Amino acid sequence: MSKLSSATNAIANLRDGMTIMIGGFLSNGTPEKLVDELVKSGVKDLTLIVNDTAFPDKGCGKLIVNKQIKKVIVSHIGTNPFTEEQMNKGELEVEFCPQGTLAERIRAGGAGLGGVLSPTGIGTVVAEGKQLIEVDGKQYILEKPLRADVALIKGSIGDRSGNLIYLGTTQNFNTTMATAADLVIAEVDTLKEVGDIDPERVHTPFIFVDYIVQ
């Protein structure tokens, strides 16, 4: 069954107040067409789970500039001054999470786990308000899983059923985010027919993807 959709129709599934994940690392591997459509839609009060807030004119940074985000769960924000400005003014809630921990929390959400135990951040502000668990005499932070209503991801190659291949470093957060959302919308550079992609090359199987946008 073809899952091909226009960006407009796919983004029409988003509503104010949703939690969304967007793949990419400094906009590398980010579905720019979907982000642009989300900016045009004006959907607001979103909680954004993302590695970084990119740049003001690239990737999810455009959503920050347009003030569509109320909270971001992120590993760093230093490349987007609008994120810092809105945070300091109290207009945007920012929850910092170490990059590896962020990836593991998303993976845990996709795998149905209750969380992950991480030593990263013990004795720092990262551990404030979180449960500590001791294992074999060593303390760990219980980091809870992350899931989203919608994930916007980017594949280099995809077929009409939703099988995806990522080239180079564009794989980054896209593969884990595809497993951790109720609705997954994938933008692809190259669209193939079903059967044209060798099964062993598939990074994200079709079962995780709901819409394909070329």
- Reading the chain (214 residues) residue by residue, the pLDDT tens digits are 679 999 999 999 999 999 999 999 999 999 999 999 999 999 999 999 999 999 999 999 999 999 999 999 999 999 999 999 999 999 999 999 999 999 999 999 999 999 999 999 999 988 999 999 999 999 999 999 999 999 999 999 999 999 999 999 999 999 999 999 999 999 999 999 999 999 999 999 999 999 999 9
Q: CA 18, CA 128: separation in Å to the nearest integer?
A: 26
* pLDDT value, residue 2: 77
In a domain, 1, yes or no: no
Q: What are the backbone angles phi and psi of residue 145, rounded to the nearest 5°?
A: -70, 155
Instruction: Please report whether residue 116 resides in a domain.
Output: yes
Tell whether 2 is covered by a domain: no
Supply the pLDDT for residue 45.
Answer: 98
The count of structural domains within the chain is: 1
Per residue in 154-179, is it b (16+ CB within 10 Å) or e — as a string?
A: bbbbbbbbbbbbbeeebbbbbbbbbb
Q: The domain that contains 34 carries what CATH number?
A: 3.40.1080.10
What was the pLDDT predicted at 76?
Answer: 95
Domain annotation covers residue 87: yes
- Look at residue 34 and tell me if it is in a domain: yes
Angle among Cα 6, 190, 186 to the nearest 5 degrees reads 50
Instruction: Please check whether residue 148 lies inside any domain of the structure.
Output: yes
Q: With H, G, I as helix, E, B as strand and everything else as coil, classify residue 172.
A: coil
Straight-line distance from the first to the last Cα atom of the chain, in angstroms, rounded to the nearest whole number: 16
Alpha-carbon distance of 174 to 166, in angstroms, equals: 9
Query: Is 62 part of a structural domain of the chain?
Result: yes
Residue at 173 is within a domain: yes
Domain containing 20 equals 7-213
